[in-house]
Structure 1
Amino acid sequence: MKRIGVLTSGGDAPGMNAAVRAVVRKAIYHNVEVYGVYQGYNGLINGNIEKLELGSVGDIIHRGGTKLYTARCEEFKTREGQQKGIEQLKAHGIEGLVVIGGDGSYRGAKALTEQGYPCVGVPGTIDNDIPGTELTIGFDTALNTVIDAIDKIRDTATSHERTFIIEVMGRNAGDIALWSGLAGGAETILIPEDNYDMDEIVSRLKSGQERGKKHSIIVVAEGVMSGDEFAKSLKEKANLETRVSVLGHIQRGGSPTAADRVLASRLGSRAVELLMEGKGGRAVGIEKNELVDYDIIEALAMPHVVDLDMYKLSKELSI
């Protein structure tokens, strides 16, 4: 291939810019032209495409968000919308496309692949819920943002001798809640991949109080319920007053960690290599610190699996 495109789609994630930078510079190093598609699939349909040079991605590796912007696009879910996108790619002479994003972005890449247009998916989402990779771009940064918030909230919880409920993002995956809860020393973690026992939670809280514990932290994944809903349930069950903190979109912003910058650089570069090898319809990932790639259709069929051993450990350490 002598000309490829790159777009970011879906929710933004810290490290997306590092991935875009890697795609552009890896391609140019190998004498391949790169075109940026702005506003995701919406921009693809509307032809919001321009050539990117080395300087186009200068000074962005440390920035959160995405230089190419992102947008939801209902039209691209239709065959007509997809054909409009393919027509724009052909009009610009773009032979292959790197798609950086989450589940919805991958489905768009899958649709293009099924219509004979080569795409490579790069997992960019804070939720860490993309099959075929142990880690997604943005997860580590979001995780550290949540841990920092837990540490600060714990100071207030201790001062006021209260139980705090912290609601975190993750869609239908519990990775952010599980990893941050374990790292932050939370007494209780609720994830959508496992049922919770309210009686057990109340018992653990009361046991802590009886041995002189002055505060507690409960981390709730948004895929389970909202923090306010859980606070209401806890009030009804144990007449326990709590305070709720919803971290919200703060988890999606900020300068990416070193881990996310390196991961994004490796995955973005590998995506270009695959296209240069004439391999489309792939999804890149990392397993045991080794780069891997899967058929994107097969990857989407894989279930997301949370580490339940880690979840068990969190309970053992929060007694």
Structure 2
Amino acid sequence: MNGNLKYNVKNPNQVMELLTNGQITPAEAFIFFRELDNHKNQIITRANDEEQLEDIMKELDDLIGLDKVKQLVKEIQAFVAIQKKRQEENLLTEPQVLHMIFKGNPGTGKTTVARLLGKMFKAMKILQKGHTVEVERADLVGEYIGHTAQKTREQIKRALGGILFIDEAYSLARGGEKDFGKEAIDTLVKAMEDHKDSLIVILAGYKDEMEWFLQTNPGLRSRFPIRMEFNDYTIDELMQIARMMVEKRQYKFSSEAMSKFEKILINSKNGIYYDKMGNARMVRNMIEKAIRRQAVRLVNQKKISREDLLYIKPEDVSEVEEA
């Protein structure tokens, strides 16, 4: 409450009592009411933020697999929370450099986790908006001198207050010194310094390629202190993902269809192209294909029951190369 006033007022009834007794002026009563209202709004906002943060962390926990990633995200969340508490107590705080590198194959949850981090940092008041802007080389690199810096700055502007997620980031360094990708990196590094309190950058891509990328530009290592590795899903995890995706769409696998689906995953797991098209992305493609094939199977059927509409059968499930 206002330090210039001698009364420790905790609710509107106290204000009215003081005003009625002539102990405060109407102007002082107005100040008390305003401060009580502000205090109430702060409590409500804090409670909403805490509730939102709990929902986000539950959403993270509900993701299938990704145990090491979940642990690291929780470490980041705890670190940020404690640094804020230390700041409130006027204790020394560690610098919050939250730029990250995500390493892993496609379909391993990198984009999903980036979006959750954006929402988490918004709830924690680290980012104002918490949105995620997803870009790749073509969105950043131009065709002539000066064009790249302009394009990169436009994407940075879109991402301010949130996360700039650059997929296949290593492609920015593939052309060597004369390639315009280097200009994009330089523009990005400058923006990270200029907007350090309103922008988090996540570079993502295949593990080996990202390691090569960091070697070509050693200065990036210190600017991206947080690194997460997204491992390929196991067959059991992929089947859990498949069942979850099917249920969300209000479909069901017949037991035979589920067996066929699992066999396809097992056969493709060691395939030469698995790392390019595999994991949850492959599962999603297979399910979408199965739903279309089920529709073709049913569309000319004279009588269609609810059970017909619900169940995906073995003939609806296609091989990976067909998906």
Fold similarity call, TM over 0.5: no
More helix by share: 2
Q: TM-score, normalised by structure 2?
A: 0.33
Higher relative contact order at CA 8 Å, sep ≥6: structure 1 or structure 2?
A: 1
Name which one, 1 or 2, has greater alpha-carbon Rg: 2
Query: What TM-score do the two structures reach when normalised by structure 1?
Result: 0.34
